[in-house]
Structure 1
Amino acid sequence: MARRKRPLFARWYPDAAARLEERGLGAERARLLAPLEGRILEIGCGFGANFPHYPDAVTELVAVEPEEHFRDLSRERADELGLKATIIEGTAESLPVETGSFDAVVATAVLCSVDSQADALAEIKRVLKPGGALVGFEHVRSPGSARHTTEKVLDAVLWTHINGGCHLSRDTLGAIREAGFDTEGMSTERFPFLPFPVSKSPHIVGTARKLE
């Protein structure tokens, strides 16, 4: 599936996101990524926000990003950090990597914006080794029909169009389970340092394991 390009989003987002890293998102990334080891695939690496937080136990990092400007920024970030990372063009729905070859896949605030969650999660499952981990955080739909309806309306008329395809109303935890992952390692939290309305959204955070 071809992903719709979003070059304008790729231009304005890094400066806005940098402030969020300082307000608490960077600390969340560090906590989440600290246990990783082995061969890691990151999808939607953006401008390399996760790069400073990968531990030395990661022996290889491959990062997939569809936007050219983001790829350029992430390569610059990797060079600044002295991080050995292979950054390639691709989409979550069609990962240009071999089957069953990664210990973990990292996706932080990515599954809200992919064109097809089912296709993306099928690809993540394909490239993971048996028992491999999907590690990340995602804002997800709010409980309660009234709030969820509001989120769907915002997605349709505004939010998705100005925020790189991001959706407020997705049941991402349900999609991960349906794709064949054990989600016992994921918890629900809120990130109050994020902008409204995602500061009010529940977030799923942690690790989902590929079922054998």
Structure 2
Amino acid sequence: MACFYVESTVPTKVYTVRIVMLGACSGKSAIAVRFVSDRFEEKSFKTVGAVYRCKKMEIDDDLVCFQVWDTSGNAKYTEISKMYLRGAHVAMLVYDVTKPSTFEELKRWVDIVEKDDRVHTTVLVGNMQDLPSVVDDEVALALAQSHGMHFTTVSAKTGQNVHALFLTIATLTLSKMKTDQRYLVPVSSKFNNIINP
């Protein structure tokens, strides 16, 4: 999936926000599908390598193309995930609130992300908010605060907080991008809008 331009009247500034989703067995794909397609798939499949999805949104007179890289949580694909991380603006660390092991696994990624100063924003996300939580939100919040991350919980199944999560990511990232012209995507005189095929 990719972002294209078509003729229309749009804002003069277009930004691309690259997001890499990290974490094992946490429902990352379900969050991505909910955001991009606004649907939930009961039957899930393990991600092999990485899956790319794209969605455009108009936010405060700017056009934003979210490029979402959903990476495999399997440890054997760690180096591949690191490769995608190197080109990302945002690292989204996702755990399952019903599985403490997925939260513990994220601590490894926290260390990896902190070593890459090209990542502007890191977000800690607890998925499956619709189920009784085993991982204490206060513990997760403490981890996030100690590493300068933003924290929220979502439900890919119900859609709760998913849209708000990506709006927050856009707000945080664009505020940094707007001070650096390298992140602007030029708008062609022939092609003035972005769509998702």
User: TM-score, normalization: structure 2?
Assistant: 0.39
Which structure has more RCO (C-alpha within 8 Å, separation ≥ 6)?
Answer: 2
User: TM-score, normalization: structure 1?
Assistant: 0.37
Higher share of residues assigned helix:
1
